[in-house]
Amino acid sequence: MAIEYGSAARSRMIGRMMIYGGLIGLAGFYLMPLWVMVVTSLKPLDEIYGGSFIGLPKILTFEAWAKAWSQACIGTACTGLKPYFVNSLMMVVPAVLLSTGIGALNGYVLTKWRFRGSNLIFGLLLFGCFLPFQAVILPMAQVLGALGLSGTISGLVLVHTVYGICFTTLFFRNYFVTIPDELTKAAQIDGAGFLRIFFSIMLPAALPILVVSCIWQFTQIWNDFLFGVSFTAGESSPVTVALNNVVNVTMGRKQYNVDMAAAMIAALPTLFVYVVAGRYFVRGLTAGAVKG
């Protein structure tokens, strides 16, 4: 009996080791590009050309990061990513707040203040989630031109807000539908109005999906390249467009360390958001974002 128990225990241990070993191997394979980016950005250019991309740097230097931030050439202007990073911040913050706020209000109306045709409107909004970026470039360009917002950060904020409303409405509608209608009815009996119920009851209860919406929108807007390159130009471009220009502008030897440092700088905000709020993103999804 003891021999059988010991054999079973060894089998379970071997099985666990194989599972964890496989998971560690897959994680290492998945993270290899990030490793290459980090170590390459910390090497001098001579070491990169004389060695490998994967090995640890023999001489640790942050010169490439400083150059990517403030000296790298983007077209004819060698200003680095700094002004374009600021442009992305000026774009992403209002776009996330507006699209999330409007989506929350839409989800509240579509679940707790139903009206004739509300399901049709929700279906049309849901259809907007499946429209590719390329399908809306021309009409968006015409609208921005008519409003005088072509080539501006404000125009890009409008584009991302409008395109993101479909997703945020879906998130909040599917979350609010899980909240009992008795709460809003009781609030109405107590004399609470439309906005009082929304701000005092629905929004505090929707904190998990609020985090999901903000993280989703922040990631989509910050990483967007197509809208940025289509609707802005020059000094008003976001950081993704500037990064593309940094990589494609070459004077002399290809500066792989600067390119990798620039890519890391452009990716740091989304990486930071997921590291800090990633667990809340998962909680929000499981709390109702995929229900209904």
Overall average pLDDT of the 151-158 stretch = 91
What is the pLDDT at residue 132? 83
- Report pLDDT digits (tens) over 197-229: 888 888 888 888 898 899 999 999 999 999 998
* pLDDT band per the 50, 70, 90 thresholds, residue 159: very high
In sequence order, which residues have a C-beta less than 8 Å from that of residue 203 and are 6 or more positions away? 104, 210
Q: Render 141-186 in DSSP notation, one character per residue.
A: HHHHHHHT-TTSHHHHHHHHHHHHHHHHHHHHHHHHTTS-HHHHHH
- pLDDT for residue 274: 82
Which residue stretches of the chain are H helix?
A: 2-41, 45-50, 63-70, 82-112, 118-128, 133-147, 153-176, 181-189, 194-197, 203-205, 207-223, 226-231, 239-248, 256-284
Distance CA 192, CA 198 (A): 10
The model carries a pTM of: 0.84
C-alpha distances (whole Å) from 207 to each of 37, 112, 168, 243, 287 are 35, 17, 13, 34, 10
pLDDT digits (tens, 9 = 90+) for 15-63: 888 898 899 999 989 888 888 889 988 988 888 888 777 888 888 889 9
Please say whether the beta carbons of 282 and 290 come within 8 A: no
